[in-house]
């Protein structure tokens, strides 16, 4: 996540005049996997956009932040108030319920345990109207898409949206997508409740560097819960899931709840295997320490 700019500041990134897609245009009235299909027309205008690069260049978070903000503005212009930043949603929820105090009571406003795992990374007891929360790198999503114009934390009323971008000229490592530990808590909460209350959608955007501009390629929106292949966990990179949204499959035919149940099982198995490897390394290193000390005594 990156510090946000105002809509007026970002208007230069996108067309000024666009058609706003009305609430419920998808015909579903809820936001589940349908969010992917609803995002397609909203993202259509992103391809070919040219973003000006600052003096710091486009490497790392600099280029990513430009793409994230351009996508968010494009979605906001198409989908109106249905798209909001995660921290803004939490601020509005707490402001509308100022009589609710305490960390546990305020977290309950977010919904069940799956929603709390996804959205409750802050200490909500520290919120006040005078000190609202700001955007944070620990936020799960760049934005949240709601089924209607109002904030609604009901099951299937929203989807979490996160933008992942990359230089198409560089075939690098897949980006960090989400903490495997966090996703385990989300999926565990869903399995316990018997329902996955929201979708998690990743928007992949490739770009090419042209002078001091980033030229955006066609975006692709994918549902995490439609990935059929085993998602890769990089234990050496803060236990992050890593994949390319532009390349990953969307072939899973089960429900999001079934996906969650499959993931918690594979997560535990993968963590057990990782732990066994760590134990083996520790034992080998302990043997080396003993050998070194015996050698030193003989010398």
253-294 per-position pLDDT tens digit:
999 999 999 999 999 999 999 999 999 999 999 999 999 998
Section 192-202 average pLDDT: 95
Task: Read off the tokens for 150.
Answer: 């109002």
Q: Predicted confidence band at 31 (pLDDT cuts at 50, 70, 90)?
A: low
- What sign results for the dihedral spanned by CA atoms 204, 205, 206, 212? negative
Domains and CATH numbers, the chain: 7-298 (3.40.600.10)
109-128 per-position pLDDT tens digit:
999 999 999 998 889 999 99
Q: What is the CA radius of gyration of the chain?
A: 22
166-195 per-position pLDDT tens digit:
999 887 789 999 999 999 999 999 999 999
Per DSSP bridges, beta strands 213-216 and 232-234 are: unpaired
For 217, half-sphere exposure in the C-beta direction (CA atoms, 13 angstrom radius) is 16
Cα–Cα distance measured from residue 249 to residue 296, given in angstroms and rounded to the nearest whole number? 56
Closest-CA residue to 245 (of 183, 202, 201, 200): 202
Q: What is the mean pLDDT of the chain?
A: 85
Which pTM does this prediction carry?
0.85
Cα–Cα distance measured from residue 170 to residue 208, given in angstroms and rounded to the nearest whole number? 10
233-246 per-position pLDDT tens digit:
999 999 999 999 99
Whether residue 274 contacts residue 267, with contact meaning beta carbons closer than 8 Å, is answered with: no
């Amino acid at each position: 996540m990156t510090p946000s700019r105002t809509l007026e500041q970002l208007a230069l990134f996108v067309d000024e005049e666009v058609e706003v897609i009305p609430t419920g245009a998808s015909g579903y009235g809820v936001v589940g996997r349908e969010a992917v299909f609803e995002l397609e027309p909203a993202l259509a205008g992103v391809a070919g956009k040219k973003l000006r690069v600052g003096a710091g260049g486009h490497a790392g978070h600099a280029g990513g932040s430009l793409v994230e903000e351009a996508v968010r503005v494009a979605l906001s212009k198409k989908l109106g108030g249905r798209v909001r930043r995660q921290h803004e949603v939490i601020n509005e929820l707490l402001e509308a319920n100022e009589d609710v105090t305490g960390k546990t009571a305020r977290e309950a406003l977010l919904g069940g345990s799956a929603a709390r795992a996804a959205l409750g990374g802050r200490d909500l007891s520290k919120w006040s109207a005078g000190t609202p929360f700001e955007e944070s790198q620990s936020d799960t999503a760049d934005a949240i898409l709601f089924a209607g114009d109002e904030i609604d934390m009901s099951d299937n009323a929203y989807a979490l949206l996160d933008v992942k971008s990359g230089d198409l000229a560089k075939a690098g490592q897949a980006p960090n997508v989400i903490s495997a530990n966090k996703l385990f808590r989300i999926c565990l909460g869903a399995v316990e409740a018997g329902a996955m209350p929201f979708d998690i959608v990743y928007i992949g955007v490739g770009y090419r560097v042209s002078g001091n501009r980033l030229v955006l390629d066609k975006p692709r929106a994918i549902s995490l819960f439609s990935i059929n292949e085993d998602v890769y966990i990089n234990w050496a990179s803060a236990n992050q899931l890593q994949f390319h949204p532009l390349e990953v499959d969307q072939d899973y035919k089960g429900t999001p709840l079934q996906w969650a149940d499959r993931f918690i099982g594979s997560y535990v198995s993968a963590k057990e295997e990782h732990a066994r490897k760590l134990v083996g390394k520790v034992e080998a290193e302990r043997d080396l320490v003993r050998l070194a000390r015996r050698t030193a005594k003989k010398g």
